[in-house]
Copies of this chain bind each other. A is one copy, B any other.
């Protein structure tokens, strides 16, 4: 039975007892040797061999993490790297993740003006509406760029409403230079980022978007890098689930994520990408499980989930 995206996401986090998400950013140069060294995949100068390797890796990561996390975020850039075949692989992974009952977030940061955004909303978020593709599903949610304001985001909101899907508008980025734009102060005292957050909050409160959980199908990507700023985001967007990138490799810590949650422990989905999927390159795990990359990923995923749980409980 279709159900509001935010409600489904929250039910999935309850089922796994964790508001966590693993980011699938597969980079050939970081793959375990047992995959990239395979005789059919050991040629990174051949796009098909390289793509086969990153898909094999990604499929195995999905299976490893599925018992522990409710959601995965698949980053389109790492698949577009391999052109049309990479895009085909991206959609195959979405099908695989859906079969594992994972909530699938397509991290594509799409967005443009009206009629172009309509095309993006159809391709990036909708379940395909073509008769020859009727057994294929789109992701459950996507990340959206809000630079063009509501006109550019509305087509995604419409698809979210019609198909019980979700969006996360990119409000606050995790990288240092984003501050030069996002933290600029407006006349009224808001930062640019707070100003966008207010608008996202009003979009999130639109007709038919808020579920029984009190959360909207319209959420926000919010980097948690500073307690006070995150608390302010939480205050400004009460109905939005926050998709928090950058846990682990991008420098985020468990303590940073706390203000993104409400006191009842809901309201955010914390994503770790590189720190989990490349754990076999981390001496901490590699020394514990030498030459067992899957064990490393599993342990890093368990540790990530435990860290998030401990941070929220405090």
CA distance A131 to B44 in the complex (A): 9
A130 neighbours in B (Cβ, 8 Å):
45-47, 50
A sample of 28 cross-chain residue pairs with beta-carbon separation below 8 angstroms, ordered by A number, consists of A25-B115, A25-B116, A27-B115, A27-B119, A45-B129, A80-B87, A80-B120, A80-B123, A81-B119, A81-B123, A109-B112, A113-B173, A113-B174, A113-B175, A113-B178, A113-B245, A113-B250, A114-B175, A145-B147, A146-B181, A147-B173, A147-B182, A148-B173, A149-B178, A149-B179, A149-B180, A186-B192, A192-B192
Among A25, A78, A84, A187, the most chain B Cβ lie within 10 Å of the Cβ of A84
CA distance A181 to B198 in the complex (A): 11
CA distance A183 to B182 in the complex (A): 14
9 A-B pairs with the lowest CB-CB distances in the bound complex, closest first: A149-B177, A84-B88, A77-B119, A47-B130, A84-B87, A151-B177, A151-B175, A80-B123, A113-B175
A77, B178: Cβ atoms closer than 8 Å: no
A interface, CB within 8 angstroms of B: 25, 27, 45-48, 50, 75, 77-78, 80-88, 91, 107, 109-117, 119-120, 122-124, 128-133, 145-152, 170, 173-182, 184-187, 192, 195-196, 199, 245, 250
A88 neighbours in B (Cβ, 8 Å):
83-84
Given known pairs A152-B173, A186-B187, the reply for A83 and B178 (CB within 8 Å) is no
CA distance A98 to B132 in the complex (A): 32
A173 neighbours in B (Cβ, 8 Å):
113, 147-149, 152
Smallest CB separation, A193 vs chain B (Å) = 10
CA distance A299 to B225 in the complex (A): 55
Among A27, A75, A83, A151, the most chain B Cβ lie within 10 Å of the Cβ of A83
CA distance A192 to B146 in the complex (A): 14
CA distance A185 to B192 in the complex (A): 9
A122 neighbours in B (Cβ, 8 Å):
81
A145, B45: Cβ atoms closer than 8 Å: no
A50 neighbours in B (Cβ, 8 Å):
130
CA distance A120 to B110 in the complex (A): 12
Smallest CB separation, A34 vs chain B (Å) = 23
A177 neighbours in B (Cβ, 8 Å):
148-152
Q: Which of B25, B45, B175 contacts A152 (CB 8 A)?
A: B175
